Copies of this chain bind each other. A is one copy, B any other.
Amino acid sequence: MEYFPPALENLVEQFARLPGIGSKTAQRLAFFVLNLPEEDARTFAEAILEAKQTVTCCPVCQNLTQGEGPCAICRSVKRDQSTVCVVADPKDVVAMERAREYNGLYHVLHGVISPMNHVGPDDLHISSLVGRVSGGGIQEVIMATNPDTEGEATAMYLSRLLKPFGVKTTRLAYGIPVGGHLEYADDATLMRALEGRREM
């Protein structure tokens, strides 16, 4: 590695810091960037700076947004203002929106409670959620954290925290995924799918 010019070496190191990028891939990416037209390399560098400098969290729902004030979803008059869907991550908002089924607002926690990783309730955007709920006007809070131990614990914690404000707290349904095979479904999922069975 010490045979590359320092600036190239430095670029390789920068790429190697990214998650899931090993030293070989980092080298390949650095060479690719080096072979880009000057214009394109500049665009790339500016995209990094611009994203870092202009992307902020919506003061209401904590989802990622750009510019001042609440995000587009929070501002939208077409949205049902009485329902809030709580997700762990901005990517989950994208997943929910892609389903085109939900028309309420969101609240992004930016993580889940995880004692293993030293993430407690105070490290998440929970107080702002409590603030929104206690402010009134919200009737239902849907817990849409991931169906794993930590997501489950976080949903449970929030549910207990919000109940005193008189809101309905719900959880996404568990069950077999659409297009899935019973044969390959794990026991816990099948059990939950049975529990949650509905009349046809």
Contact = CB atoms under 8 A, between A and B. Distances in A.
Interface stretch (A86-94, A128-136, A151-159, A176-184): A86-94
A88 B20 CA distance: 28
Closest 5 CB pairs of A and B: A5-B66, A45-B45, A11-B51, A41-B52, A45-B48
B47 A5 contact: no
B10 A51 contact: yes
B93 A3 contact: yes
Interface in A1-56: 1, 3-8, 10-11, 13-14, 18-21, 25, 27-34, 36, 38, 41-55
A32 B19 contact: yes
Interface string A58-91: 0000001110000001000000000000000011
* Copies per complex of this chain: 2
Contacts of A73: 3
B1 A65 contact: no
A5 B21 CA distance: 25
Interface string A83-109: 000000011011001000000000000
A140 to B, nearest CB: 21
B41 A14 contact: no
A50 B10 contact: yes
Q: Which of A4, A50, A51, A73 has the most CB of B within 10 A?
A: A51
A5 B19 CA distance: 22
B7 A51 contact: yes
Q: Which of A13, A18, A21, A53 has the most CB of B within 10 A?
A: A18
